[in-house]
């Protein structure tokens, strides 16, 4: 109905009509009503759903729908939106979408009927221009729309620079977006420029408000002689210490171990009491909630809390008294937890140990950093006890279904100017495993307490892989000659871990690890307790890092309410909103961190163009084979069109490509030798040429596989022209000229 029809039908008096119109528009904004052109309808009457639009660089997208139309609700099946039906929606926009077709398998297709809330007011991209006009090509490949810039709105920016543009109008079915440049970062070969651009693109808040900074400066750690309030324990004489990387910017956890009568070992996990200082609704809390977590780049950290708070007041510095929320876990001789207690306390850390120093003592070797080694050597006895307990905890965890992947983590070594020198394997020793097991045990115990006593809270859930992924893993294992467990066993963590163990030491070990890892879904925060499939824990939460994760801070507040005897249940809807927000912040931070690392890797490889390298296949697509180098963990692509010895078909089920004539097969995990051909900084892409690698022994039934692969067609899939702003793929379209008739000469050439 049109607005005037509603007024007439309901008999709204003339003096109340302005308020009525405002209320109807508000209902539309809330999603209770849907506006289609100039008329309003109930969403269910038109099969219209409210959700978030996720775009693709090719122009189409999906609407991520929630069942009740509200954020935080249970998710329904996504709605596929074709390119011509997005109605100018951009990635992240809140939209109303109508379902127009549902396939027998449940897949839905539809169109965007209304954009309820825009996700972007600014966009980061590269400025491009021709003789007549200028435009900005978004760096985010999920936004295929260009932004036209008038000459007076360029703000002095030069062609080719990264810029931030403020949107003045949004794209529509037949029009481009328009905007003005508000910031210029510089050219894309400077690490400092790239980092500022990535921060702006991800919407990361890198500056604190003056109010938050003043609020933080007024906070101080407890003095030595400060009286203890009721309910706060004095643990200053406990032998607790921290273990962190050398470059640690904050120290938010300390550990201790005590031996009790009867062979009971009491593990103490002492976490900085951030919730004592950051009160709900304060200026610092508002800033922390917006950030969701700290962001870590190779040479810089953007903290969730003001530096005075995270680096001084809350940081568990050696020899200083600090407030903590301490968890004590009692374990018997077999590593079974037999007791758990939480308390608010004050501790004094004995020493700030490093992973290198503690690991050297545990592994009985020396390191050049003598001071680190000596500090750890003074605590050899508790370190040895903790390491023994950690081994028991890990063995029990794996036996109960926890997964343990052996994939190295890369670390980028930079010079003083921030340019990459090399990429090395992240060090991992007995001290890393010790701390990891202690924190996992504490998180698990806290989650069980929250689930038993608090109900709704912030939990870390990890759903199991879907049936399709499990089936693909089973088929791939069969092709490798490995005994694939039954599907019901693969759904459990113990079944998948058995696969990883069976592949250990074999040529296919890396392939199997990647295969299983890629079958996993992502972990997220939710308000209700659930399964963490990767760890095999149910329930599980994050408790140990409130300095850098807002989720942990919320958990601390819930725990302290329980300690005060407050058994009131939290608002599940509000917690669900918080969980959705911090999950989104986490994904954004990980994307930004990964993008910066990929840029530095591409910059490093510009110095190695023409060199031969060895690596392993890390991914296979219809347009190329991805390879990760062994020496420096850089990933690049071998375009399929560069493989001129044969025509290669993509076999998704095998994670491989197969040559039609030669039978050469290149699959995930295969060792290869490549040459570095090019490195594109703007796209963060490294291009390789294949020199050697791949197998020629065809699996059973390969002839049929090749025959079926041919039916796909010989046209080589290409990356879309809009995948990279540097290539000018997003230039403004001009009116197409009518196609010319083919001449006799062209016909002759084609026949020839």
Structure tokens at 298: 């190779």
Is the Cβ–Cβ distance between 537 and 447 less than 8 Å?
Answer: yes
Radius of gyration over alpha carbons of the chain, in Å?
A: 29
pLDDT at residue 177 in the model: 92
pLDDT at residue 653 in the model: 76
Does the pLDDT at position 24 exceed 80?
A: yes
CATH number at residue 155: 2.40.50.700
- Per-residue pLDDT of 724-738, as tens digits, reads 655 455 556 544 444
Most confidently modeled range among 127-141, 158-172, 382-396, 422-436: 382-396
Nearest Cα to Cα of residue 81 among 107, 120, 117: 107
Rounded CA separation 418/407 (Å): 26
Angle between helices 550-563 and 430-453 (to 10 degrees): 50
3-state class (DSSP) for residue 169: strand
Position 395 in a domain = yes
Does the pLDDT at position 75 exceed 80?
A: no
- Per-residue pLDDT of 580-604, as tens digits, reads 999 999 999 999 999 999 999 999 9
- Per-residue pLDDT of 280-310, as tens digits, reads 999 999 999 999 999 999 988 999 999 999 9
DSSP 340: E
Instruction: Domain count for the chain, please give it.
Output: 5
| Average pLDDT across the chain, whole number | 86
**H/E stretch holding 313:** none
Is the Cβ–Cβ distance between 66 and 72 less than 8 Å?
Answer: yes
Is the Cβ–Cβ distance between 592 and 484 less than 8 Å?
Answer: no
Position 554 in a domain = yes
Give the Å distances, CA to CA, from 35 to 4, 76, 84, 337.
14, 22, 20, 57
Q: In this structure, what is the dihedral angle of CA atoms 220, 221, 222, 228, given to the nearest 10 degrees?
A: 100
- Per-residue pLDDT of 190-200, as tens digits, reads 899 999 999 99
Position 13 in a domain = yes
Tell me what percent of the residues of the chain surpass a pLDDT of 90: 57
pLDDT at residue 611 in the model: 94
Whether residues 345 and 363 share a domain: the answer is yes
- Per-residue pLDDT of 126-147, as tens digits, reads 999 988 889 999 988 889 889 9
Position 691 in a domain = yes
Position 618 in a domain = yes
Nearest Cα to Cα of residue 85 among 114, 128, 45, 121: 114
Angle between helices 550-563 and 572-605 (to 10 degrees): 150
Whether residues 474 and 432 share a domain: the answer is no
pLDDT at residue 426 in the model: 84
> What mean pLDDT is predicted for residues 564-593?
91
- For tokens 């926009």, the residue is 93
Burial 342-375 (b: 16+ CB within 10 A, else e): bebbbbbbbbbbbbbbbbbbbeeeeeeeeebbeb
CATH number at residue 692: 2.40.50.140
> What mean pLDDT is predicted for residues 531-558?
95
Rounded CA separation 683/664 (Å): 30
pLDDT band with cut points at 50, 70 and 90 for residue 505: confident
> What mean pLDDT is predicted for residues 523-539?
93
Position 528 in a domain = no
Position 525 in a domain = no
Does the pLDDT at position 361 exceed 90?
A: yes
Whether residues 257 and 151 share a domain: the answer is no
Rounded (5°) CA angle 701-706-709:
125
pLDDT at residue 46 in the model: 77
Does the pLDDT at position 214 exceed 80?
A: yes
DSSP 309: I
- For tokens 């006895």, the residue is 381
Whether residues 482 and 417 share a domain: the answer is no
Does the pLDDT at position 567 exceed 60?
A: yes
Tell me what percent of the residues of the chain surpass a pLDDT of 70: 89
Whether residues 427 and 394 share a domain: the answer is yes
User: Could you tell me which residues are beta bridge partners of residue 125?
Assistant: 138, 163
pLDDT at residue 748 in the model: 38
* Residue 38: domain span: 1-46
Whether residues 258 and 338 share a domain: the answer is yes
Position 540 in a domain = yes
Whether residues 487 and 452 share a domain: the answer is no
Compute how many other C-beta atoms are within 10 angstroms of the C-beta atom of residue 279: 12
CA contacts within 13 A on the Cβ side of 108: 18
Rounded CA separation 90/125 (Å): 15
């Amino acid at each position: 109905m049109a607005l005037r029809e509603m007024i007439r039908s309901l008999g709204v008096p003339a003096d109340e009509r302005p308020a009525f119109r405002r209320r109807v528009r508000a209902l539309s904004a809330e999603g209770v009503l849907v506006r289609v052109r100039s008329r309003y309808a109930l969403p269910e009457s038109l099969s219209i759903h409210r959700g978030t639009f996720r775009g693709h660089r090719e122009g189409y997208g999906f609407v991520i729908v929630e069942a009740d139309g509200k954020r935080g609700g249970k998710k329904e099946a996504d709605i596929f939106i074709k390119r011509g039906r997005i109605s100018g929606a951009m990635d992240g926009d809140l939209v109303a979408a109508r379902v127009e077709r549902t396939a027998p398998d449940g897949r839905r297709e539809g169109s965007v009927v209304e954009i309820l809330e825009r996700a972007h007011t600014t966009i980061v991209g590269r400025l491009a221009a021709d003789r007549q006009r200028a435009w900005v090509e978004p760096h985010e490949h999920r936004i295929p729309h260009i932004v036209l810039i008038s000459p007076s709105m360029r703000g002095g920016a030069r062609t080719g620079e990264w810029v931030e543009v403020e949107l003045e109008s949004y794209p529509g079915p037949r029009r481009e977006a328009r905007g003005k440049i508000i910031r210029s970062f510089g050219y894309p070969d400077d690490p400092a420029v790239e980092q500022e651009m990535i921060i702006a693109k991800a919407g990361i808040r890198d500056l604190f408000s003056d109010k938050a900074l003043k609020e933080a400066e007024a906070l101080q750690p407890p003095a030595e002689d400060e009286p203890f309030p009721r309910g706060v324990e004095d643990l200053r004489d406990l032998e607790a210490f921290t273990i962190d990387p050398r470059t640690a910017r904050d120290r938010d956890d300390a550990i201790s171990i005590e031996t009790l009568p009867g062979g009971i070992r009491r593990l103490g996990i002492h976490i900085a009491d951030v919730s004592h200082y950051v009160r709900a609704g304060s200026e610092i809390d508002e800033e922390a909630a917006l950030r969701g977590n700290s962001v870590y780049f190779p040479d810089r950290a953007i903290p969730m809390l003001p530096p005075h708070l995270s680096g001084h007041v809350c940081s568990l510095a050696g020899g200083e008294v600090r407030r903590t929320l301490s968890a004590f876990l009692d374990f018997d001789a077999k590593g079974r937890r037999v007791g758990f207690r939480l308390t608010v306390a004050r501790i004094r850390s004995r020493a700030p140990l490093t992973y290198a120093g503690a690991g050297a003592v545990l592994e009985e070797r020396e390191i050049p950093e003598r001071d680190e080694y000596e500090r750890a050597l003074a605590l050899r006895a508790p370190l040895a006890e903790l390491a023994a307990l950690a081994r028991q905890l890990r063995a029990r965890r794996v036996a109960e279904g926890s997964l343990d992947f052996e994939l190295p983590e890369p670390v980028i070594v930079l010079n003083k100017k921030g340019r990459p020198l090399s990429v090395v394997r992240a060090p991992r020793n007995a001290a890393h495993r010790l701390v990891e097991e202690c924190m996992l045990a504490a998180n698990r115990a806290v989650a069980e307490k929250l689930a038993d006593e608090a109900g709704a809270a912030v939990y870390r859930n990890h759903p199991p892989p879907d049936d399709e992924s499990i089936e693909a893993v089973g088929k791939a294992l069969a092709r490798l000659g490995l005994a694939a467990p039954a599907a019901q066993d693969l759904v459990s963590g113990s079944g998948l871990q058995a696969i990883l163990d069976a592949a250990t030491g074999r040529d296919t070990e890396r392939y199997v690890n990647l295969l299983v890892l890629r079958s996993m879904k992502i972990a997220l925060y939710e308000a209700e307790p659930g399964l963490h499939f990767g760890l095999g824990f149910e329930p599980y939460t994050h408790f140990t890092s409130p300095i850098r994760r807002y989720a942990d801070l919320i958990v601390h507040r819930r725990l302290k309410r329980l300690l005060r005897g407050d058994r009131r249940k939290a608002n599940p809807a509000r917690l669900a909103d918080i969980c959705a927000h911090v999950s989104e912040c986490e994904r954004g931070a990980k994307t930004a961190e990964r993008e910066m690392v990929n840029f530095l890797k591409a910059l490093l490889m510009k110095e190695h163009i023409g060199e031969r390298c060895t690596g392993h296949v890390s991914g296979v697509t219809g347009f190329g084979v991805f390879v990760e180098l062994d020496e420096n963990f850089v990933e690049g692509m071998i375009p399929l069109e560069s493989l001129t010895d044969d025509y290669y078909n993509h076999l998704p089920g095998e994670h491989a490509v197969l040559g039609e004539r030669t039978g050469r097969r290149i699959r995930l995990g295969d060792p290869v030798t490549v040459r570095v051909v090019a490195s594109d900084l703007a796209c963060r892409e490294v291009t390789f040429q294949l020199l050697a690698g791949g197998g020629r022994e065809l699996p059973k039934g390969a002839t049929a596989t090749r025959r079926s692969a041919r039916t796909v067609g010989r046209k080589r899939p290409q990356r879309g022209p809009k995948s990279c702003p540097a290539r000018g793929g997003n230039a403004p379209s001009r009116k197409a000229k009518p196609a010319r008739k083919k001449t006799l000469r062209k016909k002759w050439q084609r026949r020839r």
